[in-house]
Amino acid sequence: MVSTTTSRSIAGLSVLVATALIAGCSSAEDGTVDSGSSTEATTTQSKEGFPVTVTFAPEAAVTIEEQPERIVSLSPAITETLFAVGAGDHVVAVDEYSNYPEDAPLVQGLSGFTPNVESILDYDPDLVVLMSADDSILTGLDAAGVDTLVIPAAENLDETYSQIEQVGRATGFEDQATTVVDQMKTAIDAAVATVPEEVKEQGLTYFHELGSDLFTVSEQTYIGQIYDMFGLTSIADGGDAYSQLSNEAIIAANPDLIFLSDAKAENLTAEDIAARPGWDTIDAVANGRIYILDDDIASRWGPRVSQLVEEIAAQLNQLASSEAVPAAA
């Protein structure tokens, strides 16, 4: 596979995903698992079962003494998770990129990337959820007596499921979280099963574009794991989880398929991709195999991951029905 020019850590990816793919986008499509669908029916929960201890990173266990009543979420993926498991009525504020579900209390200027203790405390939270935070933020919130969960980007599907279950446990909605995960797994299995084996067995390669700076994913990510379910191989496999490829490397790798997860955020079309210098020689471009994914769904490792699988399955089924499946090089 091609070599990479730059690598990026999971923490760095969180910034990339939110700034390049989430900013200014909205998604309100219905799917098998909807991060707002279970909120109304499941927001009444017994406070029994506390205290609970949850762990989202090695040696970072957090004990929550009482069920949170006022939650501030500074992570779009976790905002969706909170609503999906039924904790939505307990959420009092979410960051400016948490645009789903529609009833999430989005606050313009409330940032998950440059969090401010004073701004957070304005909402009198008893639990704050972030993707990342420096020691000063954690110290400030701790001094105010606020529980804090730092939940980084999930590295694989199992970690996605675990995060959802632990968010449910931390908020008093453990049973609902288990149901969400079970529904996700069922939906994912069903979507994968719809794609013909002739597609899965072709050994097709793909380039998944995270942004126009040409960052992409390998098999070491939850996104890469999803593509692997369909027998697809990233042109970045063998490199870091999230890496930046050069224009020349992508052309040389000649992917069979191109998936865009930045089209809405960067106002891109398939024609824009085809017009990039030298890209007209790429098989995916020459054969019209450029697929546009929903930016938000493709960048959040929460309960709508199953919808991402369904989107990819739909594109591959379109490929299978349109004409002969291209033979991999």
The per-residue pLDDT string of the chain (329 residues; one tens digit each, 9 = 90 and over) reads 443 333 333 334 433 443 333 333 333 333 333 433 333 333 444 467 899 999 987 667 999 999 999 999 999 999 999 999 999 999 999 999 999 999 999 999 999 999 999 999 999 999 999 998 889 999 999 999 999 999 999 999 999 999 999 999 999 999 999 999 999 999 999 999 999 999 999 999 999 999 999 999 999 999 999 999 999 999 999 889 999 999 999 999 999 999 999 999 899 999 999 999 999 999 999 999 999 999 999 999 999 999 999 999 999 999 888 755 555 54
Give the per-residue pLDDT at 237: 94
Rounded-to-integer distance, Cα 284 and Cα 208, Å:
12
- Tell me the CATH number for domain 6-16+194-322: 3.40.50.1980
Give the per-residue pLDDT at 109: 95
Examine domains 6-16+194-322 and 29-185 and report if their fold is the same. yes
Give the per-residue pLDDT at 2: 40
Give the per-residue pLDDT at 27: 38
Pairing status of strand 6-8 against strand 242-244 = antiparallel
Rounded-to-integer distance, Cα 327 and Cα 89, Å:
51
Domain ranges of the chain: 6-16+194-322, 29-185
Give the per-residue pLDDT at 17: 42
* Rounded alpha-carbon distances, angstroms, from residue 121 to 39, 47, 126, 144: 25, 24, 9, 8
- Tell me the CATH number for domain 29-185: 3.40.50.1980
Mark 222-248 as b/e (b = at least 16 C-beta within 10 Å).
bbbbbbebbbbbbbbbebbbbbbbeee
* Model pTM score: 0.84
Closest CA to 287 of 192, 218, 202, 212: 202
Give the per-residue pLDDT at 59: 64
Give the per-residue pLDDT at 306: 98
The two three-digit tokens of residue 116, written as one number: 């401010």
Extract the runs of DSSP E, i.e. beta strands, from 164-284: 205-209, 215-217, 233-234, 242-244, 257-260
Peptide bond preceding 51: is omega within 30 degrees of 0, i.e. cis? yes
Q: What is the dihedral of CA 151, 157, 161, 162, to 10 degrees?
A: -50
Give the per-residue pLDDT at 323: 58
- Residues with Cβ within 8 Å of residue 176, at least 6 apart in sequence: 38, 42, 45, 85, 86, 168
Point out which residues pair with 93 in neighbouring strands: 72
Give the per-residue pLDDT at 326: 52
